[in-house]
Amino acid sequence: MTAYIRPTIAILLAVLAYQFIETSWFDAGWFQTILLLVVSYILLERMKVHPALVIVGALVYGGIFLG
């Protein structure tokens, strides 16, 4: 049963990520979207920062510069 659930969850997460990027691309602009994606990737994958801190940082950035 878990063999069917994992791909389903992966597809749902991919669709959610695509919709999020598409919405932010049109609402916040391409520069802000790319900046947040690149900085988030670097912090998460290269510097191994905890995901909660990256989320809080993105919220603070959005509140200051996009709010």
Per-residue pLDDT of 39-58, as tens digits, reads: 999 999 999 999 999 999 99
Overall number of domains in the chain: 1
pLDDT grade, residue 67 (50/70/90)?
Answer: confident
Task: List the domain range (segments joined by +) for residue 29.
Answer: 2-66
pTM of the full structure: 0.76
* Whole-number Å distance between alpha carbons of 8 and 32: 30
pLDDT at 32 over 80: yes
pLDDT at 8 over 90: yes
φ/ψ region of 29 (left if φ > 0, alpha if ψ in -120 to 50, else beta) reads left
Mean pLDDT along residues 21-40: 93
pLDDT at 25 over 80: yes
